[in-house]
Amino acid sequence: MADASTPTRYERGLKRMSEVYGVDVGEFVAALGDVGRYMVEFPYGDIYSRPGLAVRDREIATFAMLTAMGGREPQLRTHIAAALSVGLTVDELEEIIIQTIIFAGFPTAINALNFLHETLAELNAAPAST
């Protein structure tokens, strides 16, 4: 049994998820009910909180996988913002897309590159949060 000073999977995951996205994700997650809890506990409380890789490196892997898989634009949009939040540059994201050509092909990379540029335009047009 964990003592009161040991964070639960949910607490650890919520903290890490907020760090990755650069914003408090509590309300977003709460609105998803059990799905939100699962999303916080497993990927962020268990996987993203492991000591083996820096968060920046985990975002490189996540961005590359979502790019190579294709058809994951809502999640890719979220992880573009997260990648920028943890210090990746646009040039690095473009280079990751180029790397995916080897395994996912040119159509997937072209779609991802176009989507990256569309997302960046949307992010630049969005008002700054206060």
Domain 53-130 in CATH: superfamily?
A: AhpD-like (1.20.1290.10)
3-state class of 16 per DSSP? helix
Cα(97)–Cα(21) distance, rounded to whole angstroms? Answer: 20
CATH 1.20.1290.10 location in the chain: 53-130
Cα(6)–Cα(20) distance, rounded to whole angstroms? Answer: 21
Cα(5)–Cα(54) distance, rounded to whole angstroms? Answer: 24
List the pLDDT tens digit at each of the 130 positions of the chain.
455 567 899 999 999 999 999 899 989 999 999 999 999 999 999 999 999 999 999 999 999 999 999 999 999 999 999 999 999 999 999 999 999 999 999 999 999 999 999 999 998 886 655 4
Number of helices and strands in the chain (H, E): 7, 0
